[in-house]
Chain A
Amino acid sequence: MQMLVIKPKVDFVVTVEAEITPDLAEDLEKAKNFEVYYGKDKVKLKELFEITKEGDDKKLVLDGDFSKVKWIGCRMEDGEIVVKGNVGANCGAYMKGGKITIEGNADDWLGAEMSSGEIVVKGNVKNCVGCAYYGDMQGMKGGKITIEGNAINYIGEKMAGGEIEIKGNAGDFIGTEMTNGLIVIHGDCGFVGGDMKGGEIRIGGKFELMPTFKKSEEGFVGDVNVGGKGVVKTL
């Protein structure tokens, strides 16, 4: 059952910053007048998107290419968002609940500082998955992020809880300064576990563990540089 359907109606010259959440699905007029940033201009959602309401679920269907639309699902608490295409940066940032499904590719800072909820990306994602914004002490605290494809660098840095699963390959800096939570990478990845304090990382393919881990029954324990008890093991 579909709910609020949002389709881009112009080719975006610059990015749009739209902190839209499933709350919008409740009231079509409110949704149409919801203000977003298009470059330096504050515009109403209806000026850039066609919005139709088809049902009463708390669900947004973003139908089209949203690669130039940022902050989708920011701070959302419940309900569902489906992006039938690619999505821009900061998708699902500070998410507190609900579910986001991206059928295309996602951009940087997916699920940043997420505390609960679920994000599924059918395609690939770029950098900084479930990480902390600069200067903040903790990254993802709960919830689950699943990437069907590949990721690049910085996965679950400063993670304090929750789960990240990458079915494909990833780049460098998996679980840096992690204190809790679980990261699973089915494919290959690069540098793993720097300054890890706790939590667990499981890797299916090749990876480069930091030299500051010690072999144990569970796998590798470290990072000794921070007196860490994080565990890195093969899947």
Chain B
Amino acid sequence: MAQKVICTFCGSVCDDVEFDVEEFKAKKFCKLGRSKFSKKERIKAPMVDGKEVSYEEATQKAAEILVNAKKPLLYGWASTVNEAIRLGVILTEKVRGVYDQCASVCHAPGTLAVIEEGLPGASLGAIKNRADLVIFWGSNPMEAHPRHPLRYSMSAKGLLISGRKDRKVVVVDVRKTKTAKKADVFVQIKPGYDYPIISALRALIKGEDIEVDEVGGVSKEQLKELAEMMKSAKYGVIFYGLGVTQSRGRDRNIENAVKLIQLLNRYTRFVIWPMRGHYNVVGSGEVPAWEVGYQYAIDFSRGYPRFSPAEFSANEVLQRKDCDAALVIAADPVAHFPKASVKHLKKIPVIQIDPFPNMTTLVADVVIPSAVYGLEAEGTAYRMDGIPLRVKKVIDTEYWSDEKILEELLKKVVELRGE
């Protein structure tokens, strides 16, 4: 019998999908979510230096590593639940280390833009109900968030919108993506020119003329059309992705886009929102924000939190050789980080907490396997728009949840520190 579950793969966090426990089969999921909710190779048991040990022994060793380090890096967090993240933040504070989460390599520029300008946004439900103009900027949901267009943005039906035909969909990107092919308008831009293009749009919307004929490969005519389209929408939205956050301009791209939205609200209603990748990357930023004041790149060396992406993002810390131990949870830096970062990671003691083996498992000195949230353990996650959902446990397991592992780690660290 299939029951409704909540997917724990991407930031769409679809909660209308189904899972049949007996058949171990995912229904209605997209192929990304289905890949997680299927039988996969698991890390079999906790290990220290390649030898199988008990959870108690593994967490004891891990605690020792963290307590003895001058500056441990605790990184990952985006694919686990808030209850675990909260313990992780408290643990990092206890061991006076550095807390960083996956956003530092994807959507952190958006967080910097929130600091610089704010975030004039909306929930996905508000967008499905009202948006008659949807712009995907540097984002390709048909590939990265497959059910997003159906549930929330392109063809979603809502209060004022009866379906795809009530909506204009625009894609702004450097190449004609799968999503661009489904859009009404595709604006192709020269890679890295988002910032000046947005500046030009702001001027045109204000009614100012610009003294150039094209910006970033887009003609003034096309820019004027886009500006007009935005101004005449009843409720518009820009969804942006890694195309703008991880290309030239980064946080300034988003900051400029926010200024564009601020301006548009003087003419009509417009919002902007990031297409977050991991199912709880939002939580991995929100939890430390309420616990210690910041979302990522947080150092606790002095016994209080300090925020500095240039100094405390995981890659900066690793490339500056500024950590002497690392705990990696729900992430795979060895696979995704630049060579220079991985080089240092290989030299220091590494603790990994994850349900599935990955490249980082190969370099980890202590490996602690955990339960899969959404399937084997329950907890709170925040969808890409910050809406909280309680992901479910539908299968029993011997694996400890991240929450339980971190609870144990924290306990042992407190003991070792003699508190």
Contacts and interface: CB of A to CB of B under 8 A. Distances in A.
A212 B322 contact: no
B240 interface: no
A127 B320 CA distance: 15
Interface stretch (B46-54, B77-85, B127-135, B248-256): B248-256
A145 B308 CA distance: 22
A224 B203 contact: yes
Given A13-B324, A225-B203, A191 B196 contact: yes
Given A15-B322, A172-B249, A37 B301 contact: yes
Interface string B277-293: 00000000000000000
Contact of A38 (B70, B195, B208, B311): B70
B199 A211 contact: yes
Contacts of A173: 252
A212 B252 contact: no
A29 interface: no
B70 A211 contact: no
Interface string A112-138: 000000000000000110000011000
A41 B70 contact: yes
Contacts of A224: 203, 206, 208
B199 A215 contact: no
A14 B195 contact: no
A108 interface: yes
Contacts of B202: 212, 225
Interface in B348-381: none
B1 interface: no
Contact of B259 (A89, A134, A215, A225): A225
B248 A225 contact: no
A5 B307 CA distance: 32
Interface in A80-123: 89-90, 108-109
Contact of A39 (B71, B195, B210, B321): B71
B6 interface: no
B201 to A, nearest CB: 10
B322 A14 contact: yes
A135 B320 CA distance: 25
Contact of A211 (B95, B200, B206, B300): B200
A47 B333 CA distance: 34
B311 A194 contact: no
A172 B210 contact: no
A78 interface: no
A212 B208 contact: yes
A116 to B, nearest CB: 24
Contact of A127 (B301, B310, B321): B310
* Chain A residues touching B, range: 35 or more
Given A14-B322, A37-B302, A210 B70 contact: no
Nearest to A220: B211
Contact of A40 (B71, B311, B320): B71
Contacts of A211: 196, 199-200, 203, 210-212, 215
B323 A14 contact: yes
Contacts of A225: 199, 202-203, 206, 208, 259
B112 interface: yes
Chain A binding site: helix, strand, loop or mixed by DSSP?
loop
A195 B256 CA distance: 9
A14 B302 contact: no
Contacts of B323: 14
Contact of A172 (B212, B248, B259): B248
B311 A108 contact: yes
B115 A134 contact: yes
A39 B115 CA distance: 27
A40 B210 contact: no
B211 A215 contact: yes
B71 A70 contact: no
A138 to B, nearest CB: 13
Nearest to A210: B199
A68 B70 contact: no
Contacts of B115: 134-135
A208 interface: yes
A214 interface: yes
B96 interface: yes
Contacts of A90: 311
Interface string A1-43: 0000000000001110100000000000000000001111100
A163 interface: no
Interface in B298-333: 300-303, 307-308, 310-311, 320-324
Contacts of A200: none
Contacts of B324: 13-14, 39
B310 A108 contact: yes
B70 A14 contact: yes
Interface string B184-206: 00000000000110011011001
A169 interface: no
A90 B312 CA distance: 13
A73 to B, nearest CB: 17
Interface in B212-230: 212, 215
A134 B112 contact: yes
Contacts of B321: 14, 68
A14 B326 CA distance: 13
Contacts of A212: 199-200, 202-203, 208, 210
Contacts of B311: 15, 70, 89-90, 108
Nearest to A134: B115
10 contacts: A14-B71, A15-B311, A39-B301, A191-B252, A211-B211, A212-B202, A212-B208, A214-B211, A215-B211, A225-B259
Q: Which 3 residue pairs spanning A and B have beta carbons closest together? A: A39-B70, A40-B96, A39-B71
Given A15-B320, A223-B199, 5 more contacts: A39-B69, A39-B301, A134-B115, A190-B248, A194-B195
